[in-house]
Structure 1
Amino acid sequence: MSHTAHIPSHRKPRRSASKLSLRAGVAGGVLSTIAVAGAAGPANAEPVTETIEMPTLNADLSADLSSAVAASAEATQQVALDEELQAQEDAAAAKAAKEAKKAKAEAERKAEAEEARRKAEAKAEAAERASRSSERTTLSASVGSSDDNDGGGSSYDSSQATGSAAAIVAFARAQVGDAYVMGSTGPNSWDCSGLVQAAYRQAGIELPRVSGDQSSRGTSVSLDNLQPGDILYWGSRSNSYHVAIYVGGGMFVGAQNPSTGVVERSLDYDMPSGAVRVL
């Protein structure tokens, strides 16, 4: 027997073949994985050891985000309001321009109509003056013939008016051709009683304003006994609706109506109801 037969061996016990094969397979797989990773990346790349941390939304960041969203919404709303306001202003400007154009056209139309009216009135006035001149010529010839035949005439010639009557007649005749305007008292337009009142004022006599009161003044006289300056009236004396001034020669001056204005006419043109004498 060998002298070492009973000496225990210090060698490690052998592992079984199956265990060695398993460990070799695992090691081979790890080495393969490392080899593939090494081929894919740089040869000297270092392993990634840094950890990336995602930010955390704290209370302040959340508030700032809410404020930004609110500000954006407010800005969008303001832009919309500005656009709406601009649209309204544009519409208003367009409407104003249209109305101004319409008003201008209407004003031009009225101006043309007024000009046509003035021309028509001027033409009518010229015709009235021509007619009045013709009437005066005819009346003068008639009065002259009567004077030659019988040495005098029954008509009271206005040239015989003196004193206050002459002032009244002269003023009334000076207004012939002026316009008739209801309620007007001169100096370029009159109504019937306004003209009579102004004429008598030339003689220092103040008459009431309306025709009914004027015809109630003085004393009543016959139409066959008229004198220049007498007040003629139409209607009843206490309630006359029109007055005029007798200027002699069978003629009167009065503010008749808007179509004729102040005219001098024969008594036959519109025979008065009566007359009063204030002088």
Structure 2
Amino acid sequence: MVVHAGILRFIFILGIVCCLQSCSSTPKYTYSKTKTHSDTSKDAKLREIIVTLGRELIGTPYRKGGKTEKGFDCSGLVIYVCGRMDIDLASCAADQAKCGKTVSLDHAKPGDLIYFGQKGHIHHVGIISVNQKSNLSIIHSSSSQGVIEENILKSDYWIKRIKLIKDLSSYPRDKRISQN
């Protein structure tokens, strides 16, 4: 009877441990070294749609903390545009920059996210719309102009503040929503 009680106690404790383990949280934003979307035609289409969605919002006013078509701040614009394609991003540029695969400017493509900052702090994000030798255009929400598209190669302000670029296709898409 003692052995039987010991086995029951072990099974009971094992059950509790398994239950508690299943309740543990997993990080919402993760990065996998394997590409989320290996099909390059789907990747190209996703990038094209992201840039198109961003361009459709040009002229929308700036609104601090804004995440709707009534007004956007920089991260709100990126969250809104990427969210339309089921890409779930953190609520601020600094947290968004912690996820995804970093790429060099030479390998950046339209749709990739570009982060800006000073003194080690990320404070701004935009969507790359063009990356050519003489034209690095981004769509972003400027506090003075709202949502705009501009060639940042013509701006000393932006060029010296580029911190990193993240590959759009390295961010996970919510497969529960996306049927593409």
TM-score normalised per structure 2 = 0.61
Give the secondary structure class of the aligned counterpart of 1:233: strand
Q: What is the CA distance between 1:205 and its match in structure 2?
A: 0.7
Pairing partner for 1:187 from 69, 74, 85? 69
Write the distance in 2 (CA, Å) between the matches of 1:243 and 1:168. 14
Check if 1:219 corresponds to 2:101: yes
Give the aligned partner of residue 254 of structure 1. Answer: 140
Write the distance in 2 (CA, Å) between the matches of 1:162 and 1:220. 18
Give the aligned partner of residue 26 of structure 2. Answer: none
Are the equivalent residues in 1 in contact too, given 2:47–2:168 (CA < 8 A)? Answer: no
Give the aligned partner of residue 168 of structure 1. Answer: 50
Check if 1:274 corresponds to 2:164: yes
Write the distance in 2 (CA, Å) between the matches of 1:225 and 1:267. 17
Are the equivalent residues in 2 in contact too, given 1:217–1:278 (CA < 8 A)? Answer: no
Are the equivalent residues in 2 in contact too, given 1:185–1:194 (CA < 8 A)? Answer: yes
Give the secondary structure class of the aligned counterpart of 2:82: helix
Q: What is the CA distance between 1:162 and its match in structure 2?
A: 2.7
Q: Mapping of 1:47-62 within 5 angstroms?
A: none
Q: Which amino acid aligns with 2:145?
A: T
Matched-pair identity in %: 28
Q: What is the CA distance between 1:186 and its match in structure 2?
A: 1.3
Write the distance in 2 (CA, Å) between the matches of 1:277 and 1:217. 10
Are the equivalent residues in 2 in contact too, given 1:212–1:239 (CA < 8 A)? Answer: yes
**Deviation sequence 1:48-92 (CA, Å, 0-9, x none):** xxxxxxxxxxxxxxxxxxxxxxxxxxxxxxxxxxxxxxxxxxxxx
**Deviation sequence 1:112-161 (CA, Å, 0-9, x none):** xxxxxxxxxxxxxxxxxxxxxxxxxxxxxxxxxxxxxxxxxxxxxxxxx8
Structure whose alpha-carbon radius of gyration is higher: 1
Give the secondary structure class of the aligned counterpart of 1:179: coil
CA RMSD of aligned residues (A): 1.9
Q: Mapping of 1:92-241 within 5 angstroms?
A: 162-235=44-117, 239-241=121-123
Gaps of 5+ in 1: 1-160
Segments of 4+ moved more than 4 angstroms: none
Q: What is the CA distance between 1:253 and its match in structure 2?
A: 0.4
| Higher relative contact order (CA closer than 8 Å, sequence separation 6+) | 2
Write the distance in 1 (CA, Å) between the matches of 2:51 and 2:107. 17
More helix by share: 1
Q: Which amino acid aligns with 2:165?
A: A
TM-score normalised per structure 1 = 0.40
> How many pairs align?
118
More strand by share: 2
Are the equivalent residues in 1 in contact too, given 2:113–2:125 (CA < 8 A)? Answer: yes
Gaps of 5+ in 2: 1-42, 170-180
Give the secondary structure class of the aligned counterpart of 2:148: strand
Q: What is the CA distance between 1:244 and its match in structure 2?
A: 0.4
